[in-house]
């Protein structure tokens, strides 16, 4: 699937599970799948991980 709709590129989250639930709900309305990568998840060009401060 070739979407590349130019979402925000890379984010860090303090609570990855909550962020994933949020993005799954929002992006599902646009038919965009969220893919789990263990310590991160991504959808199209959006990438979210726990990051470090």
Cut 0.85: pTM above it: no
* Region of residue 4 (phi > 0: left; psi between -120 and 50: alpha; otherwise: beta): left
Instruction: Tell me the C-alpha distance between 34 and 42, whole Å.
Output: 6
Residue-range domain boundaries for the chain: 10-49
Half-sphere exposure of 36 toward its Cβ, with a 13 Å CA cutoff? 6
Query: pLDDT tens across 40-50, in order?
Result: 999 988 899 99
Q: Token pair 């590349």 is at which residue? A: 4
Question: What's residue 41's pLDDT?
Answer: 96
């Amino acid at each position: 699937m070739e979407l590349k709709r130019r979402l925000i590129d890379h984010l860090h989250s303090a609570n990855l599970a909550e962020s994933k639930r949020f993005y799954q709900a929002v992006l599902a309305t646009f038919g965009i799948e969220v893919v789990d990568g263990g310590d991160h998840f991504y959808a199209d060009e959006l990438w979210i991980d726990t990051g470090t401060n």
